[in-house]
Chain A
Amino acid sequence: MGRESFHPGEFEEALLTMNRVAAKNMILSEFNGNNAFELINEIISPALQNIGESWSNGDIALSQEYMASKMCEEIVESLLPAESPVRKDIPSIGITTLGDEHMLGKRIVTSFLKANGFNIHDYGDMGVEMVLRKIRDDGIEVLMVSTLMLNLALEVKKLREMLDRENIGTKIIVGGAPFLFDRDLWKEVGADAMAVDAMESVEKIREVMGVSR
């Protein structure tokens, strides 16, 4: 598909400067009613990847990543409504803070994954027992855990033990400040992977599921 008149840098700039109207119009001008995933894969996802990378390098702030992910989520909602059958249900993904009231990280990852066309089961701030029940009921294959508090990051260990006891093979991907400041913490708690930011969460989902791009 030719997109000579489209300038990815301008789209990124619109996202970083919170220019909702411009960002949405840029995508809608490329939308023909049948190319949602093409636009997600070729424009939206790469832009969010660049933005995520800038955040992990310390070049932009978390608020910019948050607003950009949210704006892209809104754009993707308009291209691909939540009930659309072409949304990606595989793998089945859940997300939780494991009791942490700090929701920003979860919100960013959720927006980011939705902006990439995934459906997400959002378990809010449920504790481990409740999350275990949800994993069972919803057949969750990958659980994303985002925490700010160290003690709740350590709850992942408890969840892993419960999953192992019940022989449930759900993969756990963790993220959030405790894991950023202690780069070995994800192994200590028995997670399958750690994502430094929302962008990396998509790569890690593919990695733990053994799926190539």
Chain B
Amino acid sequence: MTPMERVSATLGHEVPDRVPFFLLLTTHGADEFNVSIEKYFSNPEMVAEAQIRMQQKYGHDCYYAFYYASLEAEAWGGNSIFYPDAPPNSGRPIIDHFEDIHSLEVPDVAGSAILKNVLRTIEVLKQNSGNDIPIIGVVMSPFSLPTMQMGFGPYLDLIYDEPEAFRELMNVNEEFCVQWANLQVEAGATAICYFDPVSSSTMIPPELYRRTGFKVARKTISQIKAPTVTHMASGRCLPVIDDIMDTGTVAISTSSLEPLSDIKAACKGKVTVAGNLNGLEMRHWSPQETEDNVRSAIEEAADDGGFILSDNHGDIPYGVSSEVLMDLSSSAIKWGQYR
């Protein structure tokens, strides 16, 4: 099976030849060209070529068109802080006061230079892969983007204390998110990863999620013209898993803090489960630990399909070595065979 056939079968709740695995690599691509992370992400063709090289090296089942989270904040007028050994961090928030939300306008998504770079990467990947390898595009959910637009504490204050301004912010963010997702789909993305960590039960209580993030997700996902994978970026989702399934998502990626078997039991036959290897611990895994962790995840969740092996954060840390990634790959192939 090609990676596309394997992933399609999995998403369709059919049993493929083996468990598909996604190595969600971003900053590692800079090492393929021995350039700084900042320089790497300024060159869309280089990002595409690195994705192709890494997929060939490790044999995983996708291309990952994600650059870094604060890229969307840049499109809104914010900035990113680059480091030599980590993904960029979002700089100063663009919303200093709640009143600023009233005058907030959706940026020109198609005209944004930084977003155009990502689209170019997707186009190059698409030219290379045809229909053989799925290309995963990424959006921040309208509900989670404000952590970068205004900072986490102020955003929680907004959610709890300023419902009208919160709704206003969601309106502009939803419009942005749908446009951004669909431009990636037009460029060639097969699926869109909908990063929504604020919706996780680690961050907000289930009843608040049902009143806020859930409604935003359902409205947004229904307008995205490709399957979406909801990603909690290490956050828990079990207490709201039925609600997440109701948003229209086709897959859920969960935290290493939750038993994969419980997530699988809740999702079986309805949505695909992705996860949940601990990326931070991965930095120190021996070959045996790598194999044990891969085997354990597969044993917990791979029965009857509907499972994609991946890390739990949606971005494998830069400090994870090529040797560990190779071990992950060989273990996934060894233990992931369905027949």
Question: A58 and B202: CB pair below 8 A?
Answer: yes
Task: Decide if B12 is an interface residue (CB 8 Å cutoff).
Answer: no
Question: B89 and A100: CB pair below 8 A?
Answer: yes
Question: A181 and B278: CB pair below 8 A?
Answer: yes
For residue B318, which residues in chain A have a CB less than 8 angstroms away from its CB?
151
Min CB gap A190→B, angstroms: 16
For residue A181, which residues in chain B have a CB less than 8 angstroms away from its CB?
234, 256, 278-281
Question: B205 and A151: CB pair below 8 A?
Answer: no
Residue from the set B83, B153, B279 with the largest chain A CB neighbour count within 10 Å: B153
Question: A63 and B85: CB pair below 8 A?
Answer: no
Question: B89 and A150: CB pair below 8 A?
Answer: no
Q: Interface residue count for A (Cβ, 8 Å)?
A: 25
Question: A101 and B92: CB pair below 8 A?
Answer: yes
Task: Decide if B130 is an interface residue (CB 8 Å cutoff).
Answer: no
Task: Decide if B86 is an interface residue (CB 8 Å cutoff).
Answer: yes
From A63, A67, A102, A184, B203 is in contact (CB under 8 Å) with: A63
Question: A61 and B202: CB pair below 8 A?
Answer: yes
Question: A61 and B201: CB pair below 8 A?
Answer: yes
* 8 A Cβ contacts from A25-75 to B: 58, 60-64, 66-67
Please measure, in the bound complex, the distance between the C-alpha atom of A66 and the C-alpha atom of B159, giving whole angstroms: 13
Question: B234 and A177: CB pair below 8 A?
Answer: yes
Min CB gap A197→B, angstroms: 12
Please measure, in the bound complex, the distance between the C-alpha atom of A184 and the C-alpha atom of B186, giving whole angstroms: 44
Q: Interface residue count for B (Cβ, 8 Å)?
A: 34
Question: A63 and B278: CB pair below 8 A?
Answer: no
Question: B280 and A61: CB pair below 8 A?
Answer: no
Residue from the set A100, A177, A181, A185 with the largest chain B CB neighbour count within 10 Å: A181
For residue A18, which residues in chain B have a CB less than 8 angstroms away from its CB?
160
- Binary A-proximity of B130-160 (CB < 8 A = 1, otherwise 0): 0000000000000000010001110010011
- Binary B-proximity of A86-123 (CB < 8 A = 1, otherwise 0): 00000000000000111110010000000000000000
Question: B257 and A58: CB pair below 8 A?
Answer: yes
Task: Decide if B104 is an interface residue (CB 8 Å cutoff).
Answer: no
- Which residue of chain B has the shortest Cβ distance to A18 in the bound complex? B160
Question: A61 and B205: CB pair below 8 A?
Answer: yes
Task: Decide if B265 is an interface residue (CB 8 Å cutoff).
Answer: no
Min CB gap B309→A, angstroms: 18
Question: A67 and B156: CB pair below 8 A?
Answer: yes
Please measure, in the bound complex, the distance between the C-alpha atom of A61 and the C-alpha atom of B319, giving whole angstroms: 29
Question: A102 and B156: CB pair below 8 A?
Answer: no
Question: A58 and B236: CB pair below 8 A?
Answer: yes
Min CB gap A165→B, angstroms: 22
Please measure, in the bound complex, the distance between the C-alpha atom of A58 and the C-alpha atom of B317, giving whole angstroms: 24
- Binary A-proximity of B250-267 (CB < 8 A = 1, otherwise 0): 000000110000000000
- Binary B-proximity of A148-170 (CB < 8 A = 1, otherwise 0): 01111000000000000000000
Q: Which residues of B contact A (CB under 8 A)?
A: 81, 83, 85-86, 89-92, 147, 151-153, 156, 159-160, 201-205, 208, 234, 236, 256-257, 278-281, 283-284, 317-319
Q: List 22 interface pairs A-B (beta carbons < 8 Å), by A numbering.
A: A18-B160, A58-B201, A58-B236, A61-B202, A61-B208, A63-B203, A63-B204, A66-B156, A101-B81, A101-B90, A101-B91, A101-B92, A102-B147, A102-B152, A103-B153, A104-B152, A104-B153, A149-B86, A150-B86, A150-B317, A152-B89, A182-B284
